[in-house]
Chains A and B, each alone.
Chain A
Amino acid sequence: MTASDSEENKQIRFDLTTSPHLHSKWSTQKVMWLVVASLAPSIFTSLLFFGLYQLLIIAVAILFAAGTEYALQVMRNKQPTILDGSAMLTGLLLALTLPPNFSLSATAIGSVVAVGLGKQIFGGLGFNIFNPALVGRAFLQAAFPVQITTWSKPHLAVDTISSATPLAAFKFDHVSTEIGPLFFGNIGGSLGETSALAILAGGFFLIAIRIVNWQIPVSMILGMIIFGGVFHLINPAVNPSPLFHIFAGGFLFGAMFMATDWVTSPITSSGMWIFGLGISLILVVIRLYGGLPEGVMYSILFMNAFVPLINRLTQPAIFGIKQGGQNEKSY
C-alpha cells in the first residue's frame, strides 16, 4: 500500500453521500484546517473581550481532545488519525462554547467526553450520531450546572449592569439588550458566541469556499424569523423579536459551525431545510417556555437524532423511476 492509497482511503471513509461517489478536491485534513481558520475571528474576539486566560481553555480543550482520540485509537488497534485535525477541531469548538474563565480541569473532562463518548465510542469520525463538541458541552452542562452558567464580564464593558447573558437577562429579569452590543460581542456569553460579526465573517468564508452548505444556516435563520416572529406578533411584550433571538446567545455560532457538521447533518438539500427549520422551532420553544434561557445545544443535538430518518425520507428517487410509483418500495 502506498502513501497515496492511504490518503485515498481516508477520503472515502469520510464521504457519507450515497452514489454517485464524486471525488472531492478537499481532504479531511485540509477541510479541518480551513474550518479552524474560519474560527480565527471568533477566537480573536474571545481573547479581546475576555482576556488571554481563554487561550489556556482553548489549548487544554484541543490537547485533551487529541489525546483522547489518540489513546482510544491505539487501544482499539486502529491507525491513529489525530493529524487529520478533526479531534482538535472538536476540542476547539467545545472550548468556544464554554463560559469565560471556565475551570481547566472541567474543560479537560469535557474534551475527553466529547471525543470519547461523543465520537470514538461510535467508531470514530463519520460514525457518530451526535455532534461531539455538543455532547461534551451537554455533559458539562449536566455535570457542573453552576460553573457553566457563571459568566464573567467582558473586559471592555462600560455600562453592563450584571454579568448575565442577554438571554438570561431577558428571561429572568426582563431586560432586553440592544442589537449593537449583540452584534459586536461586547456582552456576557460563551467564548465564541458573543460577537455576531466574527461568527458571520467565518461563516461566510466557509460558505464561500463551499465547505459548508448554505441551506442549513439560511434555513435556521429563516426558521427563527418565522417561528420567533409568530410568537413576537402574538405577544410582543413577553416574547422578544426574532432579531434578538438571532443575535443573542449561541444561535449564530450553532448555525454556522455546529449544525453544519458534515457527519451529523442531513445529506439532501430538502433534508437540510427540514433540519434547520426543526432546530429553530425547538430552540424558540426552549427559549420561551423552557426552564433554561438558552437551548441551541439541545435543539441541535435533538435534531441530530433525526438525521438518519430525515435522510431516509428525503432520499431522491432513482433516475428513471416515477416518484410514488410501484418500484419505489424496492430498495
Chain B
Amino acid sequence: MKKVIRMILTLSIIGIFSGGVLSKINDWAVPYIEANKKAATEKAISLVQPEGKNYERIKEAPFEAYKVFDEQNNLIGYSLVYEGNGFQGKIRLMAGVSVDLNKITALEILEQVETPGLGTKVTKEPFTSQFNNLITTPQIDWVKGVKPDKPNEIQAITGATISSKAVVAIINSGIDQLRNFHDSGVK
C-alpha cells in the first residue's frame, strides 16, 4: 500500500511541477506566437495587395478572407486564403482580388509540400508574377509549352504541370466561393 501511495505521489508531483512550468512558459510565449502569426498574415497581404494599408477579416465568410483598404480607408479589394490538393499534399495560398472580383492583383503561396526543386517552383518567380493583374472571368486557364495569349491564361511549369494546375484550380474554386459569398448579399 505504501508503495502504491508513493508511486501516485511521485507522478502527481512531477505532473504538477511540469504543468506549472509549462503554464508559465506558455504565458510568456503566446503573445510572441500571436505577433508572429499576425506579422506573417500582414506580410502576405501586403505582398498580394501592394497598395493596401489596412485590412479587416471578413468574419461572416465561411473561409479566410480579408477586406483590404487604402490610406483613405477605401475598399480596394480582397485577400483570399484558400487551400486545396497539390501534387503531394495541401497547397495553401493567398490571392489578392480586385473589388469586382474580376482581376487578381498578386499571388502568394503560404504553405506547400510539393517536390523540392520542381513543384516548389510554383512559389517562385516567374510563375507567381504571371498572376499579377490576371483576369479571372470566366475562370483562369493554363497552357503548356507555349506563351499564353489570353488575359486569363498562365503558362504551366515544365515538369511540374500538376502543381501548376493545382494552383490554378485552387484559385478558381476560391474565387467561386468568394463570388457566391458576394452574391449572397452579405458585405
**8 A-B contacts, Cβ less than 8 Å apart?**
A145-B115, A146-B118, A146-B159, A149-B159, A150-B158, A172-B144, A291-B87, A291-B162
CB contacts (< 8 Å) of A149 on chain B: these are: 159
Binding site for B on A (CB under 8 A): 145-146, 149-150, 162, 172-173, 291
Q: With A and B bound together, what is the CA distance between A159 and B115 in angstroms?
A: 34
List residues 132-166 of chain B with CB under 8 A from any CB of chain A.
144-145, 158-159, 161-162
Interface size on B, residues (CB 8 A): 9
Chief secondary structure at chain B's binding surface: loop
Q: With A and B bound together, what is the CA distance between A146 and B145 in angstroms?
A: 14
Q: Is the CB of B159 within 8 A of A162?
A: no
Binding site for A on B (CB under 8 A): 87, 115, 118, 144-145, 158-159, 161-162
Q: Is the CB of B144 within 8 A of A173?
A: yes
Q: Is the CB of A145 within 8 A of B162?
A: no
- Please give me the residue from chain B that is nearest to A168 by CB atom: B161
Chief secondary structure at chain A's binding surface: loop
Q: With A and B bound together, what is the CA distance between A173 and B156 in angstroms?
A: 13
Q: A150-B158, A172-B161, A173-B144 are in contact. List 5 more A-B contacts (CB 8 A).
A: A145-B159, A146-B118, A146-B158, A149-B159, A162-B145
Q: With A and B bound together, what is the CA distance between A145 and B121 in angstroms?
A: 13
- Check A145/B118 contact, CB under 8 A, given A173-B144, A291-B87: yes
- Please give me the residue from chain A that is nearest to B87 by CB atom: A291
CB contacts (< 8 Å) of B144 on chain A: these are: 172-173
CB contacts (< 8 Å) of A162 on chain B: these are: 145
CB contacts (< 8 Å) of B158 on chain A: these are: 146, 150
Q: With A and B bound together, what is the CA distance between A321 and B104 in angstroms?
A: 76
Q: With A and B bound together, what is the CA distance between A291 and B162 in angstroms?
A: 7
Q: With A and B bound together, what is the CA distance between A172 and B156 in angstroms?
A: 11
- Please give me the residue from chain B that is nearest to A173 by CB atom: B144
**Shortest Cβ distance from A275 into chain B, in angstroms?**
29
CB contacts (< 8 Å) of B115 on chain A: these are: 145
- Please give me the residue from chain B that is nearest to A147 by CB atom: B159
Q: With A and B bound together, what is the CA distance between A121 and B162 in angstroms?
A: 35
Which 9 A-B pairs rank lowest in CB-CB distance, beginning with the nearest?
A146-B159, A145-B118, A291-B162, A149-B159, A172-B161, A145-B159, A291-B87, A162-B145, A172-B144
CB contacts (< 8 Å) of B162 on chain A: these are: 291
Q: With A and B bound together, what is the CA distance between A291 and B87 in angstroms?
A: 7
